[in-house]
């Protein structure tokens, strides 16, 4: 079958179409014919071996797929790796039926990015009604969903960052109360201005480096900042414990992989997200679709922040 298999770590240039043996489902697994695979920012780290968990070669990237099982179920599944292929296998508890009213692209947007946004707001930062929320990369896969969920769950003011004027218009259309340039220089001042001169209660941060530093400086008393990525590939400055104590501030981390040991931590949020989407209350954004042979371009576009929403990979083309 056709798949993207890497035999060396590196950038998008190592992503090439290969002919590999078809996978075989073992005990407790299901074989899935892939209709679409999801492309995630984490994939770019996995390919260059800079992810939180180290990977071994050869590797077929891709952690999520939507497709059909041999008995005709339409499922979205988390597979860890192996998604960039015509077929893959998933452990049965991590393959969920996709309800009518939810498209393939929407299902993929919700499987990883949707559950991440859900946990960022509910588990990591414990959003309370009326609190202000800053969402970085508000036009991205996680960000576009977090903006909508924060508003649905009663946030007082939602501010999103985005790198272009077009993206800032998009996040305002999704319900953000304000959209600002996310460039690090002067970011704290722009955050405060967008929040009426006041610091923010919650920050969802996935850029790292000076962006995290500026965001922390704009955090209110009892504010919570959750970091869930490092897209800039830069390190933030160390935070002295005294800066946490003064203002009773919290910095926490979130990695969805820590939920993988318990399928309920994924399945229950996903069911809620499916219901909201089918009811028209949540709008997952599908930003683009690439052929399997174009996956290097997809990674280049994602790393250069030229994309919005969820990116899909068609394994047939």
Residues 25-78 have pLDDT tens digits of 999 999 999 999 999 988 998 999 987 777 889 999 999 999 999 999 999 999
Tokens of 103: 């498209």
- 263-289: average pLDDT: 96
Beta strands 286-291 and 310-314 are parallel
Mean pLDDT in the chain? 95
Is omega for the bond preceding 132 within 30 degrees of 0, making it cis? Answer: no
Q: Which residues of 124-163 are buried (b: 16+ CB within 10 A; e: fewer)?
A: bbebeeebbbbbbbbbbbbbbbbbbbbbeeebebbbbbbb
Q: What percent of the chain has pLDDT over 70?
A: 100
- Give pLDDT tens digits for 175-234: 999 999 999 999 999 999 999 999 999 999 999 999 999 999 999 999 999 999 878 778
- 93-120: average pLDDT: 97
Residue appearing with tokens 């962006």: 211
- 143-150: average pLDDT: 97
Residue appearing with tokens 């559950």: 115
pTM score: 0.92
Q: Report pLDDT for 52.
A: 73
3-state secondary structure the chain: CEEECECCCCCHHHCCEEECCCCCCCCCEEEEEEEEEEECHHHHHHHHCCCCCCCCCCECCCCEEEEEECCCCEEEEECCCCCCECEEEEEHHHEEECCCCCCHHHHHHHHHHHHHHHHHHHHHCCCCCCCEEEECCCCEHHHHHHHHHHHHCCCCEEEEEECCHHHHHHHHHCCCCEEEECCCCCHHHHHHHHCCCCCEEEEEECCCCHHHHHHHHCEEEEEEEEECCCCCCCCCCCCCHHHHHCCCCEEEECCHHHHCCCCHHHHHHHHHHHHHHHCCCCCCCEEEEEEHHHHHHHHHHHHCCCCCEEEEEECCC
Residues 6+ apart with CB under 8 A from 50: 233
Distance CA 137, CA 204 (A): 9
- Give pLDDT tens digits for 293-305: 999 999 999 988 8
- 276-289: average pLDDT: 95
């Amino acid at each position: 079958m056709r798949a993207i298999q890497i035999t060396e770590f590196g950038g998008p240039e190592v992503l090439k179409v290969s002919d590999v043996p078809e996978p075989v489902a073992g005990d407790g697994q299901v074989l899935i014919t892939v209709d679409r695979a999801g492309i995630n920012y984490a994939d770019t780290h996995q390919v260059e071996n800079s992810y939180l968990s180290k990977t071994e070669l050869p590797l077929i990237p891709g952690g999520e797929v939507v497709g059909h099982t041999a008995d005709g179920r339409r499922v979205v599944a988390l597979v860890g790796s192996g998604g960039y292929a015509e077929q893959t296998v998933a452990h049965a508890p991590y393959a969920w039926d996709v309800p009518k009213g939810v498209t393939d692209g929407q299902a993929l947007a919700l499987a990883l990015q949707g559950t991440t946004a859900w946990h960022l707001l509910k588990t990591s930062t414990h959003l309370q009604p009326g609190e202000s929320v800053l969402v970085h990369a508000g036009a991205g896969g996680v960000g576009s969903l977090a903006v909508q969920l924060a508003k649905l769950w009663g946030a007082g003011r939602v501010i999103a960052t985005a790198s272009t004027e077009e993206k800032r218009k998009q996040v305002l259309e999704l319900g953000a109360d304000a959209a600002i340039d996310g460039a690090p220089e002067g970011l704290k001042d722009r955050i405060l201005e967008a929040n009426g001169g006041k610091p923010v209660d919650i920050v969802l941060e996935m850029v790292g480096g000076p962006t995290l530093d500026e965001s922390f400086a704009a955090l209110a008393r009892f504010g919570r900042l959750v970091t869930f990525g490092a897209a800039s590939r830069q390190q933030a400055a160390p935070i002295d414990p005294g800066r946490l104590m003064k203002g009773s501030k919290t910095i926490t981390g979130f990695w969805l992989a820590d939920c993988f040991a318990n399928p309920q931590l994924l399945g229950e949020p996903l069911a809620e997200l499916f219901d909201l989407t089918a009811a028209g209350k949540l709008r997952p954004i599908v930003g683009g679709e690439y052929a399997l042979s174009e996956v290097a371009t997809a990674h280049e576009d994602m790393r250069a922040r030229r994309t919005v929403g969820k990116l899909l990979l068609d394994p047939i083309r």
